[in-house]
Amino acid sequence: MELWETIEPYLINLFPVAIGIAAVFTWRRGKRARERWRIFAEKHGFQFAPPSPPSFFSKMAAVAFQNPGVVSGELDGLAFRLCVEVRGASKSRRFFTVMSVEIPEIPAGLKVFHQNAFLQLTKLFGAQDVTTGYHDFDSAFVVKGNNPAEVLTWLDESRRSALLRVLGEHPNMDIREDRLEFKREKIIESEEVLEKALDGLRALAPYMNSHR
């Protein structure tokens, strides 16, 4: 008891110091990420916008000191965006780096995403919305859409082949919410990871354009 009474004042004083040190490291990581995203944007002719102060009640307040900003522009005629998204709330809150291009005139509700063990099990019970009839493609991806006939028309041979080839090399990339997106949990600083994700989007962008 006497020992605790002796060290307690020091521990109380060290607590705010530890918080301050953690805040400094977080701020430095954010500054480093912002600089790398700015260089990435300049290298590829995109626009870079530094982060603006978030509202205290917004989800982005959780990454206020780490937010690298937003990179935007065009990739093969498609709207391009690189940003951080916060999903979930409280203890389930998670940060994702998302790099995407918007897909014009995409069939309503179209989603193409990678298989996993759970999805493979649900497919046995008919949970897959759309089956293309091509074994390699159907084994690799789950396909969903509001209108199966429109989905099958859009997923012609060239698109299926391109998706199978490129998404096979990019497990964090799929089609959701009217966009082709790369998504990985955490804020990505690595130039190599950003470049590889961009290469994947660039390889598929010509196939996503409705005027190809």
pLDDT digits 0-9 by tens, 34-53: 999 999 999 999 999 988 76
pLDDT at 54: 58
pLDDT at 6: 55
Q: Which residues of 71-104 are buried (b: 16+ CB within 10 A; e: fewer)?
A: beeebbebebbbbbebeeeeeeeebbbbbbbbbe
Q: Which domain holds residue 49?
A: 1-208
pLDDT band at 94 (very low <50, low <70, confident <90, very high): confident
Residue 134 CA to residue 142 CA, distance in Å, equals: 12
Q: Point out the least confidently predicted range of 21-35, 157-171, 195-209.
A: 21-35
Residue type at 102 in one-letter notation: E
Residue count of the chain: 212
Give this prediction's pTM: 0.79
User: Structural domain tally of the chain?
Assistant: 1
Mean pLDDT over 89-98 rounds to 80
